[in-house]
Every structure is written in structure tokens, then in C-alpha cells.
Amino acid sequence: MKTRLLIAVPALLAVVALAGALGPGPDAAVAQQPATEESDTVTVTGVGTVKAVPDEANFSFGVETRGRTAQAAIAANATAMEKLIAALRQAGARDIATQWVSVWPVSREDGTIDGYSASNSVSATIGVARAGVLIDAAAEAGANQISGPGMSSSDAEKLYRAALADAVKDARERAEVLAKAAGRTLGEISSIVEAGAQPVPLYRDAAEATAASTPIVPGQQETVAQVSVTFDLR
């Protein structure tokens, strides 16, 4: 029995030594691998602007009428508005649309009702060059409520796309400055987020107004686009 034990112990030691020589198993090897680091990024906001003189003007034209009753006020208003709308169309206005119709009682100082007032208003669009002509035509046709103009460009989408391209270019230039300051270089764009924008009036470098009608000076509008861009860093 003692002889058998002396033989078995060296055999067991040999098995352990062989396992050590072969090294750790596959699971142990995976556990010892270092974790892969995520690439660094930089996020910047870019702004692009495009300036242009607007070529369209939007107005609101209305008529207010009085009557002894609400029905009489509305009837008188309907007749006046038909004349006004016809004059707007003849002057070249387009996209004419009703904005609101309202009727309200008119009271004396003692609170008693002294008739009714009715109001009807329409919006209309015309080229800036004929905006003054449209105002004069509306006033001559009986419009006693005139507001505007709201300026816009017929190629607004084209202007915005140009501003959007400038915004991305501006974002890249800003990111390059930051990357250089950090001793890095820019990699690929990993994300772009577009922000909304609206044209902003500048009121300078204005076009000349037509002297023969109510003067309308469009000035310049600045279309602004903004984006948030994330770049990989190398």
C-alpha cells in the first residue's frame, strides 16, 4: 500500500504541472483582455445666414360698417367687402382669404345700445413692387382697416437651404479650432441635428420705393439656419 501511494503522488504533480504549462483556459484569456475605449467626440453649433431683399408683401384689409341692427350692419359690410375684394383682385393681389368676421353692439354713454358694428377682414399677397398700388386701391375701394406689410421671399426654401449649408460649414470650422486646441484632428461626422429658423428683417440696403403710390421699402431679410454637429476626434 505504501508503494502505491508513493507512485500516485508524483503522477498527480505531473498532471498539475502539465496544466500550468498549457496556460489558462479560453474564459480566462477573454477576461484578461482590456476593454475597448469609445472614440472621443466634439459637438458644436453652427450658424449660417443668407441675406436677400424680399419680393412679396402680405397685407390685411378690412371694412367696418354700422347699422341699426346686426343684420343691417352685416348686410352693409357684405356690400362693402365685395367692392374691396374686387379692387384687390384688379390691382393684382393673390391668395386673398378671409381672416375674420365680427359683429358687436355699439352703446351710448348711458349703456343703451345705439346700433351695431360689423367688421370683415381679408389677407392678400402681392409683389413688393406693387404693394403701394394695392394699398391705394384698397383705400379707394373703402377699406378703413389696413395693416402690413409682412415681407417674405418667393424663394424662401432655396435661401434656407443655402443658409443650412453655411451652418454645417461653420460648425466644421468651429470644431476644427477646438480639435486643434486639444491637439487632436477631426474625424467623421457622427450626428447632425437641425434647428428651426425664420427670416429676420434687417431694414438696410433698402430698395427704392415707387413715388407714384404709397411708399413701401422692403429692406433686407436675413435667413438664419442653425445645426448641432458631432464630430469624431482622432
- Range name among 28-37, 140-149, 212-221 with the lowest pLDDT average: 28-37
Q: Which is nearest to 134 in space by CA: 30, 75, 214, 198? A: 214
Question: How far is Cα 75 from Cα 45, in angstroms, rounded to an integer?
Answer: 57
pTM score of the predicted model: 0.63
**Which residue, among 74, 140, 135, 81, has the nearest Cα to 102 in the 3D structure?**
74
Contact status, residue 135 vs residue 212, Cβ threshold 8 Å? no
Can you tell me whether residue 196 is helix, strand or coil?
coil
Least confident of 12-21, 143-152, 154-163: 12-21
SS3 55: coil
**Of 28-32, 96-100, 114-118, 138-142, which range is least confident?**
28-32
Q: Is 12 helix (H, G, I), strand (E, B) or coil?
A: helix
Residue with grid cell 498539475, as numbered in its chain = 16
Q: Between 71 and 36, name the one with better pLDDT.
A: 71
pLDDT at 225 over 60: yes
CA separation for the pair 148, 4 (Å, rounded)? 112
Domains belonging to the chain, first-starting first, are 41-53+155-233 (3.30.110.170), 56-152 (3.30.70.2970)
- The more confident residue out of 142 and 39 is 142
